[in-house]
Structure 1
Amino acid sequence: MVHDGSTDGAERALRADELLDPAAYPHPVAHVEVLQTNTSLIALTGEYAYKIKKPVSFAFLDASTLSHRRFLCEEELRLNVRLAPELYLDVLPIVRTASGLRVGGSGETLEYAVRMRQFDRSQELAALLGLGEAGAAEIAALALAIARFHASAPRRVDAAGFAGTEGMRAAVLGTIATLLAHADHGIDAPGLGALIDWTHDALRRSMPRFREREAGGFIRECHGDLHSRNIVRWRGRLTPFDCLEFDAALRWIDVMSDVAFLVMDLHGRNRTDLAAIFLSEYLTQTGDYGGIALLPFYAVHRALVRAMVDALAAEAEPGRRANADSRAAARVLAADGFMRPPKPILIAMHGPSGSGKSWLSERLVGPVGAVRIRSDVERHRLYGASADRHAGRADARTYARLRECATACLEGSMPTIIDATCLRRADRDRLRDLAASMRVPLLFLSCTAEHATLARRVGQRRLEGADASDANLRVLVAQLAGMEPFATEERAQLVEISTSDPQALAKALAAVSSRRSLEQAPAR
């Protein structure tokens, strides 16, 4: 039985079994299934799903009154139509008449329901990942959708100070406190303790950067709960749903925290390749490389949040404790990977337009687990369609931007690919200086092709008009005339790859693996 905390009349209470009556719905229904979570009832009718808030009161949620449950339903609708307008339809009252329960009827309201399009749960991203059916292209498309969503999301304007940062700090400490209270639910306590200590230290150490992000407008009304169980393939497109509606402070967050949740979740499901593709595409669209330095912190926090949820589930449902404990332990393990990541590598592409740099670097992102920074994209970000965007001064500024972005990525322990021509020795030397200052290995992948192939590829790309590069044959001729070959002392960090070779990708991956192994080999 579901009781309304705003009344003391048992005769008014909504019973879950009443939702099983097909006649209760304003459309033909052959069969009804009712699911329950800790906070909701969900009636599945075939075409539509009706989500009803339970009158519960927890430390993180108070839905004890009908008026507040109505507000939560309306908030859920408002928030989710931003990302899933085809799924979320409206909010309907639920009333009891002489003929029984009616959804959308007239009379005294017992509850409210969010009406959604019902979808096949086998199409949730978590299920697709489990079956190996989630593809790189749709993950990249999801990243584009999230980037556009964040760009249009309301931004926090707080004249009273850094309320967003302080709210985040309180949320992190609250998560830790709750998790510690339930740490006996199958979670490795020593590992958890190390993560908590690291989180405390990182929170204190990064406070100036958190405040800088808030002042820069990066705290926005985000999804708040962006993980693979809240994303569904709907009509051929991965669609986020179930935004966090019950606590505004938990969704008014740094956009990088929103991103980190899905990145962490993909890592926890052993799909580091898709995590890298998602993150790299998101950054290509937004240019928010400065947020990467905080990604490990946010990923660890998000892993701890999921571990907390799993621990609470284990306590609430003893029969499912083994599964919840296993998931919680996996979250802690995923968090540990962000706390102690391997040393990143800096990979710099090399070659004139049409040599296949972008083609190859795009295919390296997933297997290497890297972020790719594209000179063509960053040049457009700096200059737009300005006629002098290829001038010497503009080129120098573009390379300075690439180094700035790469520095932020490496600070966040992300393997980094710079997709640029790197035709001049001076530009390559500055990348060597960057790698040396960050104490990371550096590899130049020089992409080669016959001159006729270069010209054909550049011409074809111009005709298709679908790539960020705007190089034409005139630019290609100038590049070939001005190329500065690698000197003997540079070649130790160089591997040449013919992109006409069917084994080009395999050879590039072998080169990356070899460079990493060489860096990690013990000194003799």
Structure 2
Amino acid sequence: MTSIPTDPPAQDSGFALLKGLGKAEAYNHPTESIRLIETHISWVLLTGQYAYKIKKPVNFGFLDFSALAQREFFCHEELRLNQRLAASWYLDVVPITGSPAAPKMAGTGAAIEYAVKMRQFPCAQTLRESAECGQLSTDEIDQIASLVADFHHTVARTDDQSPYGSSQDIRYWFTENFIGIRPFLKSSGQVQQLAALQVWGDAEWHSKAALMQQRQQQGWVRECHGDLHLGNMTLVDGKVIPFDCIEFNPLLSWIDVMSEVAFLMNDLLRFGYEVYAYRFLNRYLQATGDYPGLALLRYYWVYRALVRAKIALLRASQNPEADGQLCAEYGLFADLAERFTQPGKAGLIIMHGFSGSGKSTLASQVAENIGALQIRSDIERKRLLGYTAQADTGSDLGTGIYSQEASRQTYRHLAVLAKGVLEAGFSVIVDAAFLNSEQREGFLQLAEDCQTPFIIIAVQAADETLCQRIRQRQGDASEATVAVLRQQQQAAEPLGEAEQRHTIAVDTERGDALERVLTQLGKICP
């Protein structure tokens, strides 16, 4: 937050306009103390009831606001795009009339500038500031995951005729970061680090270009938010509100949905919220089923870190007083990009236990803590057979989605998804009952084929607890009943001696179940 300039250079009409807009008489409504927020591409004036966003007359190549007509057009684009997520907050595009010395917001006569008019958020704090203070909560992460998944489901998407999202476009914007960053670097270490990132990016693109093109043709490139990080979200009455979509270049907003996911995860990882980053990713993927997109996630992680690094340097060039802080921010993002190029060793974990044993709850907690993907059979079974996760299919024992053939299809599908996750370089937890030895043998073979560690987490609880948990379930994808539990108990094939060597057994009635599993995993996969 900065103050309105009181002594702008006489030749600088932009600052002269800001000085004029710092006066209450420039507005047709009551104002409070007028405050200014400045970014590298815009000025935002906070008046109390309303906020007004003005685009700077700049041209950075990836955006061009140099002409008034362009700024007017992109103000209208900003309104259109942001009303998808924050309709009650983005209100109008208004002309600024009069003169720079005596402007009138939403006045009459010829426009000298344009502004996007918004309701001013009651609290200026963004989720970035909450993250910096250690105040983010799981409720906010769960809201974001649901909100982003729903948003990506409803927005416009590409087809094989679309001009957006080609693999060549993706490569161009990845490479453009190096062009924007290199002139600002001051040390040989920074130059070498950037060169190594470019070599990695070129190699990764060549190996993934066909997949990028395929996803564009399949409609995974969509008209997204484009700038979805914590600084562009706020909390109003307990509800997460994303704002400030990219409007200035459709090539940067028509992107693969996984690029959008990567941007937010990048921010969470940057602030040390590793568990929350994987909580968001797991919940998003469970909602969308886009596990194949994981193959591109690491590329987009690096790309997004480089974008933030470049912006830090651009801001430093505009604000010499903050040069030291912004250059440190560059280093943080450059190091994050380097970290993303170095994947850890992936492992395959399967759950084992009856309905009500706490498999899914424990699998979710473990996945978040070790940076793994939890694939839930209850969700994937329904998705595979054309149902939503919360649908009540009315299937009886051994019929409908729980028939033997449906179960065989489900486990085959789970294996395909798990293999994709492993090949993308991530550990995977397959969250299913695995009461049949043949089912378990198939996943042991998958682990051997992928040359990855194989672990069974065997979950148990007292029969009374199992029944109680099943009866109390609400809003869950599982349709298991106590009758299903009894059938499972009769048909279950116990773990064999060879399987026991891969097994971590845990009682979920104990309060330390998660800690015990994490400790044992650390011993098996240090």
- TM class by smaller structure: over 0.9
8 A contact 1:162–1:211 mirrored in 2 = no
Change (3 A) 1:371 1:73: same
Distance 2:394 2:469 in 1: 24
8 A contact 1:93–1:103 mirrored in 2 = yes
Shift of 1:326: 1.2
What's 2:8 paired with?
none
Q: Within 5 Å, which residues of 2 pair with 1:337-356? A: 337-356=339-358
What's 1:429 paired with?
441
What's 1:452 paired with?
464
**Residue aligned with 1:179, SS:** helix
What's 2:390 paired with?
none
Shift of 1:506: 1.3
Distance 1:185 1:113 in 2: 40
8 A contact 1:95–1:109 mirrored in 2 = yes
**Residue aligned with 1:108, SS:** coil
What's 2:512 paired with?
503
Residue identity in the other structure for 1:476: L
Change (3 A) 1:283 1:12: closer
Distance 1:95 1:176 in 2: 40
Shift of 1:57: 2.2
CA deviations on 1:456-487 (whole Å, 9 max, x unpaired) are 211221xx3x1110111221111111111010
Q: Please point out which of 411, 416, 419 is paired with 2:428.
A: 416
Distance 1:122 1:160 in 2: 38
Q: Within 5 Å, which residues of 2 pair with 1:85-484? A: 85-96=87-98, 100-119=102-121, 123-159=125-161, 164-184=166-186, 188-383=190-385, 384=387, 385=393, 387=395, 388-461=400-473, 464=474, 466-484=475-493
8 A contact 2:13–2:100 mirrored in 1 = no
Shift of 1:52: 0.7
Shift of 1:297: 0.6
Change (3 A) 1:303 1:505: same
Change (3 A) 1:107 1:11: farther
Q: Please point out which of 486, 490, 494 is paired with 2:495.
A: 486
Change (3 A) 1:460 1:99: same
Change (3 A) 1:163 1:123: closer
Distance 2:215 2:14 in 1: 49
Larger displacement relative to structure 2 (23-32 or 288-297): 23-32
Q: How many residues align?
A: 508
Change (3 A) 1:12 1:281: closer
Residue identity in the other structure for 1:80: N
Shift of 1:324: 1.2
Residue identity in the other structure for 2:222: R
Shift of 1:164: 2.6
8 A contact 1:185–1:325 mirrored in 2 = no
**Residue aligned with 1:337, SS:** helix
Shift of 1:249: 0.4
Distance 1:287 1:12 in 2: 48
Distance 2:163 2:103 in 1: 49
**Residue aligned with 1:15, SS:** helix
8 A contact 1:88–1:115 mirrored in 2 = yes
Shift of 1:376: 0.4
Distance 2:100 2:271 in 1: 50
Distance 1:283 1:269 in 2: 22
Residue identity in the other structure for 1:76: E
What's 1:6 paired with?
none
Distance 2:13 2:278 in 1: 54
8 A contact 1:348–1:443 mirrored in 2 = yes
Distance 1:201 1:179 in 2: 20
With the length of structure 2 as denominator, give the TM-score of the two structures: 0.92
Distance 1:368 1:157 in 2: 36
What's 2:24 paired with?
22
Distance 1:162 1:118 in 2: 33
8 A contact 1:260–1:299 mirrored in 2 = yes
Change (3 A) 1:98 1:401: closer
Shift of 1:118: 2.0
Distance 1:444 1:56 in 2: 57
**Residue aligned with 2:166, SS:** helix
Shift of 1:337: 2.0
Residue identity in the other structure for 1:395: S
Distance 1:146 1:506 in 2: 31
**Residue aligned with 1:417, SS:** strand
CA deviations on 1:385-443 (whole Å, 9 max, x unpaired) are 37410111111111112122222222222222211101111111111122222222222
Gap regions ≥5 residues in structure 1: 3-8, 518-524
**Residue aligned with 2:401, SS:** coil
Q: Alignment RMSD, CA only?
A: 2.3
Distance 1:361 1:226 in 2: 28
8 A contact 2:164–2:255 mirrored in 1 = no
Distance 1:56 1:454 in 2: 63
Distance 2:124 2:189 in 1: 28
Shift of 1:14: 6.0
Residue identity in the other structure for 1:460: Q
Shift of 1:500: 0.7
Distance 1:487 1:244 in 2: 56
8 A contact 1:94–1:104 mirrored in 2 = yes
CA deviations on 1:78-122 (whole Å, 9 max, x unpaired) are 111111223212111111289942212222211111112223666
Q: Percent identity?
A: 36
Distance 1:87 1:370 in 2: 37
Shift of 1:287: 0.2
Distance 1:380 1:494 in 2: 28
With the length of structure 1 as denominator, give the TM-score of the two structures: 0.92
Distance 1:38 1:186 in 2: 27
Larger displacement relative to structure 2 (480-489 or 182-191): 182-191
What's 1:70 paired with?
72
Distance 1:198 1:42 in 2: 38
CA deviations on 1:191-214 (whole Å, 9 max, x unpaired) are 222211100100111111111111
Change (3 A) 1:80 1:90: same
What's 2:33 paired with?
31
Larger displacement relative to structure 2 (443-452 or 152-161): 152-161
8 A contact 2:158–2:164 mirrored in 1 = no
Distance 1:98 1:184 in 2: 39
Distance 1:255 1:187 in 2: 33
Shift of 1:187: 7.0
Residue identity in the other structure for 1:341: P
